[in-house]
Amino acid sequence: MKASTFVYPWDVNGDPEAAARIAGLGVRQATLAAAYHSTRALTPRHPCHRIVTAEHAAVLYPTSPTDERWAGRELRPYAAGDWAPGDAFGTACAELTGAGLEVHTWVVLAHNSRMGAEHPDTSVVNAYGDRYPWAPCIAQPATRTYLVDLAVEAAVRPGAAGTELESLGWYGLQHLHAHDKTGGVPLGDAGMYLMALCFCGTCREGYGEQGVDPDELAAAVRTALEPLWRGAPDDGGWAGVEKLLGDGLAAATRAWRDETARTLQEAAVRAVRAAAPEGFQILLHADPVTYHVGANPGVDPEHILSVADGVVVPCADGPSLLTPFAGVRDDAVIAANFPVVQGMGGSPGTLAADVARAREHGATEVRLYHAGLASDGDLEAIRSALAGL
């Protein structure tokens, strides 16, 4: 079973031992960040630093506002600062391929706090009028064009044999913002969906196209959430959304949001495929629960596997999310994504057993999050597990 690990350029660049160490884990592929959101990352073995602070979402290769693709456009990628100078992706890619690894790009799309801060009108707006600056609204035409073009540019980098597109869909409240303090009320699945509903101008028009007055919908969402703020239990699942909001309004929101996400995913994959060489693999980070939002946005398994070459599926809570994708298409990649950093809640010691269960649920490949962040003990557990595959 083919295994890949996620890697940042700053894990590799400046560390002459990094590429060989990653290859020595027993993985065949490195999924290397080419466009990434703001983060603070540990680099426990790097000879020059221990903490890298990526201050804002950026592309990790050279870019300029005068580039032909972006000239004169308000929405365009941000260049990285000193955390990923120059062609950070290209340098790391060369090191990793030199160590015998196949490199695929890792591209984060609809997750960009700086864009939300500088262009607030692009952000998701909830039913209370609060903006989510980390979450671009994927319904807005200019944002959709930006995301498709960014997908093409960041995915098809020299030296890459494929790409994995993350956050290609709706984002909601779940993003962990700086010094996050939103856990005081335990919103469940249904509450999180209602808090993810966008009421920007474009989405208001979209609800109107579904025969729903957006002001009445926003009021209904606020009313539906009120019991949860007072501590009532969230019944969870789509049935919980229908109970809180009512069947008709719930269905109208799904009709608008599902079509918006599907068409964006189709456009991005189509554009990447047109720009990529033959055989270039295109995977999406995805969740089979279609109304879910976030880094692994909800998709319809049959639809997305008719568009992309496969999916990367979160398996931190077990392999069950793999099952809906299994058997849809014989040649599809179904990659089970496991956290393997013990200090971040991963379980590298059970990786062999986890992979075996994932295979039973239809996994064809494995993704490991994340070689650069892992301790030496985590890496040794990964080596041991992969040796037995």
List pLDDT tens digits, range 287-324: 999 999 999 999 999 999 999 999 999 999 999 999 99
The domain limits of the chain are 2-124+134-182+258-387
Q: Express each pLDDT in 103-113 by its tens digit.
A: 999 999 999 99
pLDDT above 70 coverage of the chain, percent: 98
2-124+134-182+258-387: CATH number: 3.20.20.80
3-class SS of residue 102: strand
Angle between helices 237-245 and 214-229 (to 10 degrees): 110
Tokens of 204: 């208001």
pTM listed for this prediction:
0.96
What is the reported pLDDT for 236? 85
What are residue 104's phi and psi, to 5 degrees? -120, 145
What is the reported pLDDT for 26? 97
Residue 181 binned pLDDT confidence (cut-offs 50, 70, 90): low
| CA–CA dist 31, 102 (Å, integer) | 8
Neighbour-count burial for 249-285, b at 16+ CB within 10 Å, e otherwise: bbebbbbbbbebbbebbbbbbebbbeebeeebbbbbb
Q: Express each pLDDT in 134-170 by its tens digit.
A: 999 999 999 999 999 999 999 999 999 999 999 999 9
Write the DSSP assignment of 292-342 as a string of letters: --SSS-B--HHHHHHHSSEEEEE-TT-SGGGGGGTTS-TT-EEEEEEE--G
Q: Is the pLDDT of residue 225 over 70?
A: yes
Q: Is the pLDDT of residue 182 over 80?
A: no
What is the reported pLDDT for 183? 67
Contact of 355 with 336, CB cutoff 8 Å: yes
Taking 3-state DSSP, the helix, strand and coil percentages for the chain, each rounded to the nearest 5, stand at: 40, 20, 40
Q: Express each pLDDT in 239-278 by its tens digit.
A: 999 999 999 999 999 999 999 999 999 999 999 999 999 9
Mean pLDDT of the chain: 95
| CA–CA dist 109, 62 (Å, integer) | 17
Helices (H) and strands (E) in the chain, counts: 13, 13
